[in-house]
Chains A and B, each alone.
Chain A
Amino acid sequence: MLALLKEKETISVILGISFGIIARIMMLRTDYRQYPTYPHGKVIHVSLGVIAAGLGAVAVPALLHKNYTAITFLTVAAQQFRDVRNMERQTLSQVDEMELVSRGKTYIEGIAMVFEGRNYLVIFCAFLASLFSSLFQWYWGIAAGLISLLIAKKLQSGRNLGQIADIQIAPIKLDGPDLYVGDIYIMNVGLTDDQRIIQEQAMGFLIIPKNKNVKVTIANLGQRQAILHNLTTILGVYRDEGEPTLLPMAKLDLKTGNLAVFMLPREKDEQIALQVAKSVPVLENAVRLPSESAATKK
């Protein structure tokens, strides 16, 4: 048994698997979104992470033994993790139907994609740690593992709304039944009762894009829904089923491309709300770069 542990291959596989699992756990954050859910959602993803780590770690000894066919089962792994993406998409879509303010399809696709992507990062970490400890000494494996963890951490975080746009509080105005945030028309509120609630509870934001790329991003309906969902998750929402008028909304100012957000938070604290709005993730699927087009570069 001890002799087996001293073999170079065993050490490299163990190192690979360990770094893979560490990477998965490190990237598995359950924050205010409570997703993946605790405890079972987490159990599922840690288990899948162990499988991914195993695949990455074992691939190296297989390669070194010139066992090239063994590498083909990495394709099975890819299939497996695409299924993870499908599973997440389905679960989130089902859950989304029961939310007061939905996440929206773009956000769900984004989350599902992240789950798939992170499993590949786990394979990458395990592979590197295993490779370096196979080729050199075991401590090089640890060094490579640590560096790959740093890379994985770097790839984990995307940008947030505060980095790409200026966000400010805007006044809510009611002109008869017409509701405005700043100068931007939001909707027509017919009942005086609803108007009173909006007058008391509502809060408005103006999101001003920093450049033309951002204009496209915040015009994306999925990105707007994600903003509303995140705000309501953290601040709560003054709304119930059967109250179709009390609906948080985001509308564009067509002239300037600014986005007005109409919110009905439970906690009406402007500073916290501003902070929350700034921390809304920018959805990968909503990003476009018209500035990179050859036509506009001339």
Chain B
Amino acid sequence: MAKIAAIVVTDKQSVGGGAPIFIAKDQAEQEKLAFSLEKILDVAAHDLKNGMIILVDHSAES
């Protein structure tokens, strides 16, 4: 199963839980943060279409 490596949001209230959470000021910063994290962590960024971008490690095994 793939693993969520990080979550990038603009709205602090919308998340909580086990994965590292990064909070951006606005959408532009969110996009930049997600881009950097994608390259640094070697994981894929996915847009949940509710203002949240999650970074998922598809190579992680179970």
Q: How far is it, in angstroms, between the C-alpha of A190 and the C-alpha of B39 when the chains are bound?
A: 13
Q: Give chain A interface residues in 174-200, CB to chain B under 8 Å.
A: 176-177, 188-194
> Which of B38, B49, B55 lies in contact with A176, CB distance below 8 A?
B49
Contact B58 A244 (CB under 8 A): yes
A158 touches B (CB below 8 Å): no
B34 touches A (CB below 8 Å): yes
Tell which of B38, B42, B58 has the most Cβ of chain A within 10 Å: B38
A39 touches B (CB below 8 Å): no
Q: Which residues of A contact B55 (CB under 8 A)?
A: 190
> Which of A177, A193, A244, A247 lies in contact with B42, CB distance below 8 A?
A244
> Which of B44, B47, B54 lies in contact with A244, CB distance below 8 A?
B44
Tell which of B43, B47, B49, B59 has the most Cβ of chain A within 10 Å: B47
Taking the closest CB of chain B, its distance from the CB of A186, in whole angstroms, is 12
Contact A245 B44 (CB under 8 A): yes
Q: Who on chain B is nearest to A191 by CB? A: B45
Given A242-B39, A244-B38, A245-B38, A190 and B46 touching (CB < 8 A)? yes
Q: Which residues of A contact B47 (CB under 8 A)?
A: 176-177, 188-190
> Which of A176, A242, A245 lies in contact with B45, CB distance below 8 A?
A245
Q: Who on chain B is nearest to A244 by CB? A: B44
Interface size for A (C-beta < 8 A) is 14
Taking the closest CB of chain A, its distance from the CB of B7, in whole angstroms, is 11
Q: Which residues of A contact B42 (CB under 8 A)?
A: 241-242, 244
Taking the closest CB of chain A, its distance from the CB of B15, in whole angstroms, is 16
Q: Which residues of B contact A245 (CB under 8 A)?
A: 38, 44-45
> Which of A176, A191, A241 lies in contact with B34, CB distance below 8 A?
A191
B53 touches A (CB below 8 Å): yes
Q: Which residues of A contact B59 (CB under 8 A)?
A: 244
Q: Which residues of B contact A244 (CB under 8 A)?
A: 38, 42-44, 58-59
Given A176-B49, A242-B39, A244-B38, A192 and B44 touching (CB < 8 A)? no
Taking the closest CB of chain A, its distance from the CB of B48, in whole angstroms, is 8
Q: How far is it, in angstroms, between the C-alpha of A241 and the C-alpha of B42 when the chains are bound?
A: 8
Q: Which residues of B contact A177 (CB under 8 A)?
A: 46-47, 49
Q: Who on chain A is nearest to B58 by CB? A: A244
Contact B45 A194 (CB under 8 A): yes
Q: Which residues of A contact B43 (CB under 8 A)?
A: 244
Q: Which residues of B contact A191 (CB under 8 A)?
A: 31, 34-35, 38, 45, 53
Binding site for A on B (CB under 8 A): 31, 34-35, 38-39, 42-47, 49, 53-55, 58-59
Question: Can you name 24 A-B pairs with beta carbons within 8 Å?
Answer: A176-B49, A177-B46, A177-B47, A177-B49, A189-B45, A189-B47, A190-B34, A190-B38, A190-B46, A190-B47, A190-B53, A190-B54, A190-B55, A191-B34, A191-B38, A191-B45, A191-B53, A241-B42, A244-B38, A244-B44, A244-B58, A244-B59, A245-B45, A247-B44
What 3 A-B pairs have minimum CB-CB distances, sorted nearest first?
A190-B45, A177-B47, A244-B44
